[in-house]
Amino acid sequence: MKPYVLTVITLALAIFVWSQWEWILELRNENIPFFAETLYARWGHGLLFITLPLMVVQNVVTIFPIIVVIIVHYLVFGVWEGFIYSAAGSSLGALYCFYLARTALWRRISSFWQKKEQDLQRILRLLEVYGVWMIVLLRSIPVMPSNLISIAAALSPMPARTYYWSTLIGNMSMVWILSFISMPFWLQGRLDPLYIPVFLLFLSGIGAVFFRTVGLNRSREGTERE
């Protein structure tokens, strides 16, 4: 992505956040009815013009819990639409953060992340050992901040295309997991009977490929030592 494009996007997001800070305050206060009832009743699917940019911002600077937006998506759009919008928003935000970290623009704000150097080095070591599947694993388990994962990947020689598909897979798993955790807040009526089986099948596929990759890496290391 060209630096000037990132600059335009960054300025647009900064203006958006500055002009609509009240929405972020509502998310920080976990005011789900404000989005799911007030704004959705007013704009319908136009609500995505609020939630998706906010998810992009959240993937760069953690200023509100991402799970609140996921709950809103599931509550107003349903299980499958909510899943798609949440996975898309978090993945676009992670991609934006990745490109931001690889451009000269990042140098102007990099001092903000110097205190995170140890965490970044830890992720870089994991990426060096386990490759892109560590991106999938780190994003699947919503413990490590998304921005740290994006920055660490940007500092590695990982191709952008490889980063994006691994991030998409990891974020899909993350959204699924957070949706299960938050299910009491958004579930209305019966859950789609395919939702859990599809997730388990998806998770099994990720696990099988990951452990196979780890096994091959260890076998290769053992052969090289011999």
For residue 128, give Cα distances in angstroms to 29, 79, 92: 39, 36, 24
Q: Render 94-132 in DSSP notation, one character per residue.
A: HHHHHHHHTSGGGGGTGGGGGGGHHHHHHHHHHHHHHTH
Looking at residue 211, what is its pLDDT?
A: 75
* 223 band by pLDDT with thresholds 50, 70 and 90: low
Planar angle of CA 117, 123, 127, nearest 5 degrees? 140
Name which of 50-54, 82-86, 132-136, 178-182 the model is least confident about: 132-136
Looking at residue 32, what is its pLDDT?
A: 95
In whole angstroms, what is the distance from residue 154 CA to residue 94 CA?
11
In whole angstroms, what is the distance from residue 156 CA to residue 64 CA?
28
What's the mean pLDDT when you consider all of the chain?
A: 85
Report which of residues 64 and 105 the model is more confident about.
Answer: 64
In the chain, what percentage of residues exceed pLDDT 90?
49
95-120 confidence digits (pLDDT tens): 999 998 888 656 555 555 566 667 77
Rounded-to-10 torsion of CA 175, 179, 78, 29:
-100
**Domain extents in the chain:** 3-225
